[in-house]
Structure 1
Amino acid sequence: MSTDKKEALPAITLAAIGVVYGDIGTSPLYTLRECLSGQFGFGVERDAILGFLSLIFWLLVIVVSVKYLSFVMRADNAGEGGILTLMSLAGRNTSAKMTSVLVIMGLIGGSFFYGEVVITPAISVMSAIEGLEIAAPSLDAYIVPLSIAVLTLLFVIQKHGTGLVGKLFAPIMLTWFLVLAMLGLRSITGNPEVLLALNPMWAAHFFIEYKAVSFVALGAVVLAITGVEALYADMGHFGKLPIRIAWFTVVLPSLVLNYFGQGALLLKSPEAIKNPFFLQAPDWALIPLLILATLATVIASQAVISGVFSLTRQAVRLGYLSPMRIIHTSEMESGQIYIPVINWLLYFAVVLVIVSFERSSNLAAAYGIAVTGTMVLTSILSCTVARKNWHWNKFLVLLIGLVFLCVDVPLFLANVQKIFSGGWLPLCLGLAMFTIMTTWKSERFRLLRRMHEHGNSLEALIASLEKSPPVRVQGTAVYMSRALNVIPFALLHNLKHNKVLHERVILLTLRTEDAPYVHNVKRVSIEPLSPTFWRVVASYGWRETPNVEEVFHRCGLEGLSCRMMETSFFMSHESLIIGKRPWYLRLRGKLFLLLQRNALRAPDQFEIPPNRVIELGTQVEI
Structure 2
Amino acid sequence: MRAVRPLRAAMVVGALGVVFGDLGTSPIYTVQTVFDPRDPHPIAPTSDNVYGVVSLIFWSVMIIVTLTYVLLAMRADNDGEGGILALMTLLKRWVEQIDPRTFIVLSALGILGAALFLGDSIITPAISVLSAVEGLKVVDPELHSWVVPLTALIVFVLFLAQRFGSGGVGRYFGPVMAAWFVVISVLGIHGITAEPGILRALSPTYAVGFVAGHFHVAFFALAAIVLAVTGAEALYADMGHFGRRPISTAWILIVAPALTLCYLGQGALVLHDVRNLSAPFFLLSPQWGQIPLVMLTTMATVIAAQAVISGAFSVASQAARLGYMPRLRLVHTSDREYGQVYVPWLNWFLMVSVITLVFAFRSSDALAYAYGMAVTGTIAITTILFFVVARHRWRIPWWLLAPAAAALLTVDLLFFAANITKFVHGAWLPLVIALAAFAIMTTWRRGRLLVAARRSLLEGPVDEFLQSLRSGEREVDVVDGTAVFLNRDPASAPLAFRANVDHNRVRHRQVLFVSVEVATAPRVDPAARVRRIDLGADDEGISAVVVRFGYAEPPDIPATLGAIRDLPVGVDPAAVTYFLSTVELRLSDEPGLAGWRKRVFLASSHVSSDASDYFRLPREQLVVMGARIPV
TM-score of the pair, normalised by structure 1: 0.96
Q: Percent identity?
A: 39
Look up the match of 1:83: 84
Of 593, 602, 607 in structure 2, the residue corresponding to residue 598 of structure 1 is 607
Give structure 1 stretches of 5+ with no counterpart: none
Q: Does 1:252 align with 2:248?
A: no
Whichever residue aligns with residue 546 of structure 2, its letter is: V
C-alpha deviations, 1:446-489, integer Å up to 9, x for none? 01101112584322322442454621111122221111211222
Look up the match of 1:18: 17
Look up the match of 2:576: 567
Equivalent residues of 2:184, 2:259 under 8 A apart: yes
Equivalent residues of 1:50, 1:202 under 8 A apart: yes
SS at match of 1:492: helix
Equivalent residues of 1:376, 1:409 under 8 A apart: yes
C-alpha deviations, 1:27-53, integer Å up to 9, x for none? 000000000112223322111111110
Equivalent residues of 1:180, 1:255 under 8 A apart: yes
Q: CA deviation at 1:314?
A: 1.2
Of 214, 218, 225 in structure 1, the residue corresponding to residue 222 of structure 2 is 218
Whichever residue aligns with residue 65 of structure 1, its letter is: T
Whichever residue aligns with residue 25 of structure 2, its letter is: T
Whichever residue aligns with residue 189 of structure 1, its letter is: T
Pairing of 1:311-460 with structure 2 (within 5 A)? 311-453=315-457, 456-460=460-464
Q: CA deviation at 1:581?
A: 5.8
Q: CA deviation at 1:330?
A: 3.9
Look up the match of 1:495: 501
SS at match of 1:534: strand
The 1:459/1:605 distance shift into structure 2, 3 A limit, reads same
What is the distance in 2 between the residues matched to 1:505 and 1:378?
A: 47
Q: CA deviation at 1:333?
A: 4.0
Look up the match of 2:126: 122
What is the distance in 2 between the residues matched to 1:308 and 1:606?
A: 23
Equivalent residues of 1:524, 1:554 under 8 A apart: no
Pairing of 1:128-207 with structure 2 (within 5 A)? 128-207=132-211
Give structure 2 stretches of 5+ with no counterpart: none
Aligned pairs, number: 621
What is the distance in 1 between the residues matched to 2:593 and 2:563?
A: 46
Whichever residue aligns with residue 441 of structure 1, its letter is: R
What is the distance in 1 between the residues matched to 2:109 and 2:563?
A: 38
TM-score of the pair, normalised by structure 2: 0.94
SS at match of 1:367: helix
SS at match of 1:452: helix
What is the distance in 1 between the residues matched to 2:455 and 2:593?
A: 23
What is the distance in 2 between the residues matched to 1:186 and 1:149?
A: 33
The 1:401/1:91 distance shift into structure 2, 3 A limit, reads farther
Equivalent residues of 1:470, 1:499 under 8 A apart: yes
Q: CA deviation at 1:208?
A: 4.1
The 1:78/1:347 distance shift into structure 2, 3 A limit, reads same
Q: CA deviation at 1:6?
A: 4.9
Equivalent residues of 1:578, 1:586 under 8 A apart: no
The 1:91/1:400 distance shift into structure 2, 3 A limit, reads farther
Look up the match of 1:522: 528
Q: CA deviation at 1:246?
A: 1.5
C-alpha deviations, 1:75-97, integer Å up to 9, x for none? 11112211100111123212433
Look up the match of 1:545: 554
Equivalent residues of 1:462, 1:533 under 8 A apart: no
What is the distance in 2 between the residues matched to 1:246 and 1:333?
A: 18
Equivalent residues of 2:524, 2:550 under 8 A apart: yes
Whichever residue aligns with residue 77 of structure 1, its letter is: N
SS at match of 2:122: helix
The 1:161/1:75 distance shift into structure 2, 3 A limit, reads closer
What is the distance in 1 between the residues matched to 2:593 and 2:426?
A: 28
CA RMSD of aligned residues (A): 2.0
